[in-house]
Amino acid sequence: MLQSFNLEKTYQYLLISLAFLLPLTVFGANTIIVIIVLLWLFSGDYKAKYNQIMSSKLMIASIVFYCLHVIGMLWTEDLQWGLHILHKMWYFLLLFPILFNIVQRKYIKYYVSAFLLAITVTEIASYLVWFEIVAPFKNATVINPTPFMSHVSYNPILAFSIYLVLHEVFFNKELGKIKFFFYGFFAITMSINMFITGGRAGQVMYFAMLAIIVFQFFNTQKIKSLLLISVLIPGIFFTAYMTSDLFQQRVDAAVKNTLYYSNNKGSSVGLRITFALNSWEVIKENPIIGIGTGDFPIEYKKINQLNTPKIPNTTNPHNMYTLIAMELGVIGLISMMSIFYFQIKLSFNSSSRFIRDVGITLPLLFLVIMWSDSYLLGHYTTLLFVFFSSFLYKDFEKS
C-alpha cells in the first residue's frame, strides 16, 4: 500500500516536472518521459492498466493510428525512413496511453500552472533578447526572439497558452482581483510577444483561438459573438501589422508569394504550395492505402524531378493531412481524424467548464495549424498535444 502510494506521488511530481520542462528543453522533457515510461512498464498491475486504456475509445484510436504506420511498413521501400517515422510517432502508441493511465484529476491545476510558469520563462527570455538586454542564445535572434525552440513550434504553443490564461480571466469566478489583473496583464504581454516572433501558423492559431473563446464566452449569443469577432480580430491584426515590422514583413511576404506563386516557388509559402501540388499527384495514384510509411522522400523526389526540378526535394510536405494521405491514404486520414472526433465528443460529456472548453479548443486549433506543418511529428507540439489530451479526455469517474 505504501509502495503504491509513493509510486502515485512520484508519478505526479514527474508529470508536473514534465509540464514545466515541455516548452523549455527537449533533453529535460525526454529524461522525464523515459523515467515515467520505465516506472510504468516495471510497476506491475498490467491487467488494470490494460483495462483502463482499452476502455477509452480515444486511446484505441491513438493506438490504431500508430499501428497503421507499422502496417504501412509492409509496402514501404525505404525501411530506414519508415523506422524513423515510427520512432517519431511512438507517443501515440506508448506515451499517450501511459500518461492517460497515471494522470489524476486533483493535480490538473498543477500540471497547467507548471506549464504556464514555463511559458512565463520563455516569454521573459524572448523579451530580454528582443530588448537586447541579453545576447541572443540558442534559437533566438533580436529580430525573431524564440530562444528555446523555433518559431514554427513556439507560436502555436504560445497561442494555446494565451487561451489557457484568457479562460482563467473570463471563466474562473474564484479568481481574486490580484490574480485577475496578473492574468490579464500576462495575456496582453503574451499577445504582443505573438507578433514580435515570426511563426505565422501560430499567429493564425491565435486568431482562431480568439474566435473560439469569444463564442465560448457568449455561448448561445451567436450574433453578438460574430459582431465582436468582426471587430476584435481585424483590430488586433491591423494594430500588429502597423506596429510590428516582422509581422508586417511576414504578412506581406505570404500575400505576395501566394498571389505570385509562379515567381516565388522557392519561398516559404511557395514551397508549401509546391509540396501540396506535387504530393497530390502521388496521392491520386495511391488514394486508399498510400505509398507506405517510409516512402514519402523517395516518391516525392520522383514527382519533384518531373514537375519542379529546380525546387529542392523534401522529406516533409509541411502539411499533416498531406503527409498522412500520401503515406497511408484515406484509411490513414480517417484514423487520424478519429482521434480528433473522439476528443471533441468526449469534451461534451464533461461537467467541468474548463475541461469541456479546453477539450474542444485543443483539437480545433490543431486541425487549423496542421494545414501549414506536420505538427504531430514535431517534439514540442506533439508532446503538448499528447500531454494535455491525457487528462482532458479521461473519465476520472471510471478510474
CA–CA gap between residue 365 and residue 360 (Å, rounded): 9
pLDDT category of residue 351 using cuts at 50, 70 and 90:
confident
The number of beta carbons lying within 10 Å of the beta carbon of residue 217 is: 16
Question: Is the pLDDT at 398 greater than 80, yes or no?
Answer: no
How many helices (H) and strands (E) the chain has is answered by: 17, 0
* pLDDT tens-digit map of 178-197: 889 999 999 999 999 999 99
CA–CA gap between residue 33 and residue 14 (Å, rounded): 8
Give the total residue count for the chain: 399
The answer to whether the beta carbons of residues 363 and 346 sit under 8 Å apart is no
Residue appearing with cell numbers 526535394 = 313
Average pLDDT over residues 195-224: 92
Question: Is the pLDDT at 371 greater than 70, yes or no?
Answer: yes
pLDDT category of residue 266 using cuts at 50, 70 and 90:
confident
Q: Quick check: pTM over 0.85?
A: yes
- CA-closest candidate to residue 102, choices 3, 20, 15, 5: 15
CA–CA gap between residue 379 and residue 200 (Å, rounded): 19
CA–CA gap between residue 190 and residue 23 (Å, rounded): 15
Question: Is the pLDDT at 339 greater than 60, yes or no?
Answer: yes
The answer to whether the beta carbons of residues 54 and 60 sit under 8 Å apart is yes
Q: What percent of the chain has pLDDT over 90?
A: 88
Cα angle: 325, vertex 327, 329; to 5 degrees: 40
- CA-closest candidate to residue 246, choices 288, 287, 195: 195
CA-based radius of gyration for the chain: 22
Average pLDDT over residues 26-53: 95
- DSSP label of 132: T
Question: Is the pLDDT at 131 greater than 70, yes or no?
Answer: yes
Inter-helix orientation angle 95-102/2-21, to 10°: 120
Contacts of 214 (CB under 8 A, 6+ apart): 225, 228, 229, 232
SS3 185: helix
The alpha carbon of 304 is separated from its chain's Cα centroid by a whole number of angstroms, namely: 29
Q: According to the model, what pLDDT value does residue 139 have? A: 86
CA–CA gap between residue 103 and residue 92 (Å, rounded): 16
Q: According to the model, what pLDDT value does residue 1 have? A: 42
Q: According to the model, what pLDDT value does residue 264 have? A: 85
The answer to whether the beta carbons of residues 321 and 333 sit under 8 Å apart is yes
Cα angle: 364, vertex 199, 334; to 5 degrees: 30
Question: Is the pLDDT at 145 greater than 50, yes or no?
Answer: yes
pLDDT category of residue 396 using cuts at 50, 70 and 90:
confident
Average pLDDT over residues 224-243: 94
Q: According to the model, what pLDDT value does residue 215 have? A: 94
Question: Is the pLDDT at 202 greater than 90, yes or no?
Answer: yes
